[in-house]
Amino acid sequence: MTDSALRAQNRTARWLTEVFQPPVVVTAQLLVSPLTEPGFPGTIGFGALAALFVCVLPLLLLLGLVRLGKVTDHHVSKREQRAPVLLIALASVVAGLLVLEAVGAPDSVVVMVLAIVGGIVVIGAVSPFWKISGHAAAISSSAVITVLMLGPSWLPLLLLIPAVGWSRVVLRAHTAGQVVAGSLVGSLVMPGLWWLLRGWLA
């Protein structure tokens, strides 16, 4: 591969990694979570409230840790730094669930948050030992759940899964195995929880 082709490949990989990083992807996932509720788009505020606790506040805390030098970068590239960051995120999500319950958020939003919690727990349990890909888990979860929610016309979203996984391998942030594992968590564990909880609360 020529130098110019290699630079273009790396630019594309960096773009995919930044645009589809977990806070961005999960925020979009939460904003569309009440899409099937009566009164949408009025119910989108509940999705935004969930995104505040699940994505925005943990990201702001993470950026603060980066600024203080406690974490290397906003992608938490060092495996040993991931567990504390995920615990902070989990604490914020739990607080968000309490707030959502207090304001009477629709079940669709609560179920989505609980599915995300399931993913955080699995990734948090694995991360101290192996650097499973959070990017792959987030994009897989969002794409698969969106297809389950809105139907087969949204199947093209699944193409984002290999694209984002490719970007993480090209940038040497993860091995192919770590990307595949993250994709499995995102496409099986989180949608599975979403499906079961949705049926239980229906």
Q: Can you tell me the mean pLDDT for 76-86? A: 75
Stated pTM of the model: 0.87
**Closest CA relative to residue 83, chosen from 127, 41, 118:** 127
126 near 79, Cβ under 8 Å? no
Q: What is the per-residue DSSP string for 99-113?
A: HHHHTT--HHHHHHH
Position 14 confidence tier, pLDDT thresholds 50, 70, 90:
very high
The per-residue pLDDT for 124 is 84
**169 contact partners, CB below 8 Å, separation of at least 6:** 175, 176, 179
Report the mean per-residue pLDDT for the chain.
90
Q: Is 37 helix (H, G, I), strand (E, B) or coil?
A: coil
Token digits of residue 115: 């599915």
φ, ψ (nearest 5 deg) of residue 105: -65, 150
The per-residue pLDDT for 43 is 85
Asked if pLDDT for residue 114 goes beyond 60, the answer is yes
| pLDDT tens by residue, 19-59 | 999 989 999 999 999 888 777 777 889 999 999 999 899 88
144 near 187, Cβ under 8 Å? yes
Cβ count within 10 A of residue 57: 18
Q: Can you tell me the mean pLDDT for 82-103? A: 88
